[in-house]
Amino acid sequence: MPGLWFEDLVPGRVVDAEWTRTVTESDNVMFCALTMNVQKLHLDAEFAAQTEYGRPLVNSIFTLGLMIGMSVHNLTDGTTLGNLGMTETVFPNPVFAGDTIRTISTVVAARASKSRPDAGIVTFRHEAHNQKGQLVAKCERQALMKRRPVEGAGA
């Protein structure tokens, strides 16, 4: 399913990413290296073993990016003009290597752009759960979305 147009994104609409992704240790180590995050809690198994978690945590910014990224293919692919912001971001449960993540997105609000007649502003609530059904991440994302082209326009 391609990305949805602004007109399709009515408040209350729920869109399931329709697939899952298992997080690997390599994902976490590579993401930390790419972002220059040297937090021992993510990278040092001996250090992490002494914490309340007993093992390394997956970087929460990776989890945020994965959650939003998983929604793209059937929510905003080809129909977004860009992100405007993210708010209300929380990580109520940790993610560990080996966890399998699924994502659900809900349209919270939608309004026509005041400055761009070809676009609207949509607020999505993204929620990611692990294989146990535990909520591991949630955020609200505001995006500038394309309006459906008028048939015959520009022809």
**Residues linked to residue 16 through DSSP beta bridges, in sequence order:** 104
CA distance 7 to 145: 9
Q: pLDDT digit string (tens) for 106-155? A: 999 999 999 999 999 999 999 999 999 999 999 999 999 999 988 766 54
Tens of pLDDT, residues 65-109: 999 999 999 999 999 999 999 999 999 999 999 999 999 999 999
Please give the Cα distance from 42 to 61 (Å, whole number).
Answer: 11
The domains of the chain, with CATH numbers, are 6-146 (3.10.129.10)
What digits encode the pLDDT tens for the residues 32-42?
999 999 999 99
State pTM to two decimals.
Answer: 0.92
